[in-house]
Copies of this chain bind each other. A is one copy, B any other.
Amino acid sequence: MTEKMRVLLHVSDNQRWSMALGNITNFLKDVGQDNADIVIVANGPAVSSYASSDHMETMELLADRGVRFKACRNTLKKLCAEGAVCITEDALPAFVEVVPAGISEIVRKQREGYVYVKP
């Protein structure tokens, strides 16, 4: 059995979701779903797309194919405190895991051997 290719995508801005999700779709098609271990960490304004319908269909499809979506709790709190948008964790899709700090997740995953891509 070959080791899966571990990939970490970092998305900070809403306008980068389209690129990120397209990258993942292409990657899965190219290397095969069984050979890929993909994590997306969203921090900054990009987390608000988790509460929007814009890319939900594609996200759900990719989540079903094993892609793990994460959201930064610090960001959720900050966006609400700043009056930008208040997204409760309950309001996020079931496939999104909230992590305490997106930056720490980004660092830890790389230390576990995930290669970093900023779409």
Binding site for B on A (CB under 8 A): 5, 7, 10, 12, 19, 22-24, 26-27, 29-31, 43-44, 74, 78, 100-104, 106-107, 110-111, 115-119
Contacts and interface: CB of A to CB of B under 8 A. Distances in A.
B12 A103 contact: no
Q: How many copies does the complex hold?
A: 3
A23 B103 contact: yes
Given A12-B19, A19-B12, A26-B74, A115 B104 contact: no
Contacts of A100: 30
Contacts of A118: 10, 118
A115 B23 CA distance: 19
Contacts of A119: 12, 44
B30 A104 contact: yes
Contacts of A107: 5, 7, 27, 115, 117
